[in-house]
Structure 1
């Protein structure tokens, strides 16, 4: 499947498994994961990234992201597991 088959250019969100998923959810998660892994990230930016990750988790779970990919960074993996709902 290609990205445009999942969400065409004119569609910005979809309901997947009963959860609203916005286009860009996975990309935003990756950007926040990089911020959380970077030692130079400020406390304020780290808190914002953590909040954004928590907010995105239902959509990422609805997509099945964590069913097929493991999080390599131990701290991020523990953070996601601590804030995830049941699978």
Structure 2
């Protein structure tokens, strides 16, 4: 499947199983994961990344991201499992 088959160019979100998934959700999660695993991240940046990642979890789980990809960082994996 190509990206435009999942989300056409004119759309910025889809509804899947009652969950709204916005374009860029996976990419934003990856950026937030980098902040959450950065020991030098500022507390404010870490807090913002945590809140944004939590908001994205329903969409990421609906997409099945964690069913096909394993988070390698043990602390991040534990953080996700706790949510």
Q: Same fold (TM over 0.5)?
A: yes
5+ residue gaps, structure 2, are: none
Give the TM-score of the pair, scaled to structure 1.
0.92
CA RMSD of aligned residues (A): 0.7
TM-superposition CA deviations, 1:34-85 (whole Å, max 9, x none): 11111211011001101111100000001000111110001111111111xx
CA distance in 2, matches of 1:26, 1:3: 12
1:75 counterpart residue number: 75
2:10 counterpart residue number: 10
The count of residues paired between Structure 1 and Structure 2 equals 83
CA distance in 1, matches of 2:68, 2:17: 16
Give the TM-score of the pair, scaled to structure 2.
0.96
